[in-house]
Structure 1
């Protein structure tokens, strides 16, 4: 007789997803290989997800929903599963980010997370040598879904020009990443400005930070250090962050000039016309 691993569905969102997948599959009288054949994957993958050894993707979840006629159960669950893969210290920020009505961020080193391509995100996250890189990548891509809502948050990103030159993942990855930034140039809810080298000293030499406004909650400022993140709704800190961000916006290139700067770097540095 096969040794069937017992799952505690209350242990985590991933464990609940796995136990529910097994329950639904067995209720339909399907083996793991049979379900795998229906949704175009291996029975082994089904087994690994059922036993929490693999993280399900959104595409996988949508195919399971269609095959088992679950009225979107797994498509709804996968968001919770992927969010649970984020570092514990980052999860409160991700929860607030999903609720924000307005996001303003200055990034000194990297492209803002909600604007990263999958390949760029993978290269960034790999530097931390995580145990499950693909789970972290999937979680970051899931965060970006807030920009696909019918009414997403209004977001404004100021990127230091150094971000455009730092070859994260290599030239091919950077070409695609800069094209992603240009694709957002005409996005109704997103604005991108480049803080040019020629600006010299500026209002946030201390590093990156993000501000968030909400319909029903106090404004928040978020910063990160080497190993964790920090959110505060302290009015004085929020006011100081807003003032510094206003100075950054005034010092940065205009949205139109920023598009031209990104296009120029993309062609000269990475050998591709936008």
Structure 2
């Protein structure tokens, strides 16, 4: 069992978080069970977080801040902790994504991470049985906090129609995911277009890619293979990515027609259907 005194607060954001939690809890004169009772969790969970064996959630952090009167210390730290749970090769991209003023992406198989529901993300991330799934899902949801800013990035997303038909997590999860995409329709800062099957051969056949534009930094293009991601500000790569994206937008359905297609697939493929007993089933 890991002992608290063996932890090095400088080892990782998670270790630092655990060390701070222990120190501030003890300064408040509370044992783990007492703090757990105040924030509606077990003393065991408090101990696991203090010894860096569990990753805290944002909700937990906010409750601990309120209980210990920290002035938001843990609510600020948890962002660093959750980002550290992303794959090491992805962390640099996530940092730049959070700074971007404009994000455009073509997705061939999956809904873009910033627009995934928690259940959809859990199904995607759960394919590989490694690490703490709850922590990885929480890290992906944490990325989406940039959408709640006063000035969120402008986003233009082109999804292959295949994304709508690739059943991830079951029919109910997919229905909720497509409903979430529809809920974004009409918002000025996000536009979703569907590239229909009828488009045939198109500029995105070589795979998914993202373009990030910034107010003060060079633009970036990001791609992934099955091992890791690749981010570059190479002018030729940016020119090629921008050209491909322009062609994809031109071949895709309009935003209005895309919403109509999403709604149709949601009802026809994932809608409620009567079961053998006549009742609706998901």
| Interval of TM-score (by shorter of Structure 1 and Structure 2) | over 0.9
The whole-number CA distance in structure 2 between the counterparts of 1:106 and 1:60 is 35
The whole-number CA distance in structure 2 between the counterparts of 1:216 and 1:116 is 28
SS in 1 for 2:40: coil
8 Å Cα contact 2:13-2:84 kept in structure 1: yes
Structure 1: runs of 5 or more not aligned: none
8 Å Cα contact 2:119-2:169 kept in structure 1: yes
Deviation at 1:187, TM superposition (A): 2.1
Partner in structure 1 of residue 178 of structure 2: 178
Partner in structure 1 of residue 111 of structure 2: 111
SS in 2 for 1:70: coil
SS in 1 for 2:191: strand
Once the two structures are superposed, what CA deviation does each residue of 1:194-221 show, in whole Å capped at 9, x if it has no partner? 0001111111100100000011111100
SS in 2 for 1:185: coil
The whole-number CA distance in structure 2 between the counterparts of 1:25 and 1:140 is 28
The whole-number CA distance in structure 1 between the counterparts of 2:217 and 2:4 is 47
Number of positions where the alignment pairs a residue of Structure 1 with one of Structure 2: 271
Partner in structure 1 of residue 50 of structure 2: 50
Deviation at 1:128, TM superposition (A): 2.1
Residue 236 in structure 1 maps to residue 227 in structure 2: no
Partner in structure 2 of residue 190 of structure 1: 190
Deviation at 1:7, TM superposition (A): 1.8
8 Å Cα contact 2:105-2:209 kept in structure 1: yes
8 Å Cα contact 1:175-1:272 kept in structure 2: no
Partner in structure 2 of residue 249 of structure 1: 249
Partner in structure 2 of residue 204 of structure 1: 204
Partner in structure 1 of residue 89 of structure 2: 89
SS in 2 for 1:36: helix
Partner in structure 2 of residue 127 of structure 1: 127
Deviation at 1:134, TM superposition (A): 1.1
Residue 146 in structure 1 maps to residue 149 in structure 2: no
8 Å Cα contact 1:5-1:51 kept in structure 2: no
The whole-number CA distance in structure 1 between the counterparts of 2:271 and 2:85 is 36
SS in 1 for 2:55: coil
Deviation at 1:234, TM superposition (A): 0.5
Partner in structure 1 of residue 32 of structure 2: 32
Query: Residues 88 and 18 (structure 1 numbering): CA distance in 2 closer, same or farther, change over 3 Å?
Result: same
The whole-number CA distance in structure 1 between the counterparts of 2:61 and 2:87 is 22
The whole-number CA distance in structure 2 between the counterparts of 1:153 and 1:247 is 22
Structure 2: runs of 5 or more not aligned: 274-282
- TM-score, structure 1 as length reference: 0.97
Deviation at 1:56, TM superposition (A): 0.2
SS in 2 for 1:164: helix
RMSD: 1.1
SS in 2 for 1:127: coil
8 Å Cα contact 2:4-2:51 kept in structure 1: no
Partner in structure 1 of residue 156 of structure 2: 156
SS in 2 for 1:90: helix
The whole-number CA distance in structure 2 between the counterparts of 1:222 and 1:259 is 26
The whole-number CA distance in structure 2 between the counterparts of 1:137 and 1:145 is 13
Deviation at 1:231, TM superposition (A): 0.4
- TM-score, structure 2 as length reference: 0.94
